[in-house]
């Protein structure tokens, strides 16, 4: 296992120096779920919330979250994201599946941005629906795929395994 890169030799926190890294295409995909009562999902899909279209508000919140990741996670680099795609789809009668894909040309990866996009979108669904369903559950939220950089391609298998 590699050492943790966000600590120097003395154990002090640091932002990783990426100045010597090459600019390469980078992409990351993350996913997560929001599980709720079937009646809550029906209200969402029928656009019956007085606060607005839950899916579209959550999509915009997730995009905004990805763009603001370095404001939320102390050692993340501010990045010039070139693309954010966020999908929110029903799965069965109790769940929304959220997937974010973030990409750019840069010196560091966008895994944190993709994970933040999914997290913020899921939290937004919770916020908009909590008045009618206190049993909403978020997660799991996980990295699905990443490309670019020294560590190369990462792809999680359907069974949760990684390659």
Q: Clarify whether 53 is annotated catalytic.
A: no
C-alpha neighbours within 13 Å on the C-beta side of residue 33: 12
Q: How would you label 110-135 residue by residue, b for 16+ Cβ within 10 Å and e otherwise?
A: bbbbbbbbbbbbbbbbbebbeeebee
Identify the three-state secondary structure at position 97: strand
| CA dist., res. 153 & res. 108, Å (int) | 14
- 6 contacts 13 by C-beta, under 8 angstroms: yes
Count the Cβ atoms, other than its own, within 10 Å of residue 56.
Answer: 11
Active site residue: 127, 133, 158, 159, which one?
Answer: 127
Catalytic residues: 127
């Amino acid at each position: 296992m590699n050492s943790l890169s966000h600590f120097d030799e003395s154990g002090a926190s640091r932002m990783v120096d990426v100045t010597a890294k090459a600019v390469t295409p980078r992409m990351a995909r993350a996913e997560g779920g929001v599980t709720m009562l079937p009646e809550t999902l029906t209200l969402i899909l029928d656009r019956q919330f007085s606060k607005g279209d839950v899916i579209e508000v959550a999509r915009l919140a997730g995009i905004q979250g990805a763009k603001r990741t370095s404001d939320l996670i102390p050692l993340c680099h501010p990045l010039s994201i070139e693309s954010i795609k966020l999908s929110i789809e029903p799965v069965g009668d109790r769940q929304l599946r959220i997937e974010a894909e973030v990409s750019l040309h840069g010196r560091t990866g966008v895994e944190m941005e993709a994970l933040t996009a999914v997290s913020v979108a899921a939290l937004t669904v919770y916020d908009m629906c909590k008045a009618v369903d206190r049993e909403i559950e978020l997660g799991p939220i996980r990295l699905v795929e990443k490309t670019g950089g020294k560590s190369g391609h990462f792809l999680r298998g359907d069974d949760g395994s990684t390659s």
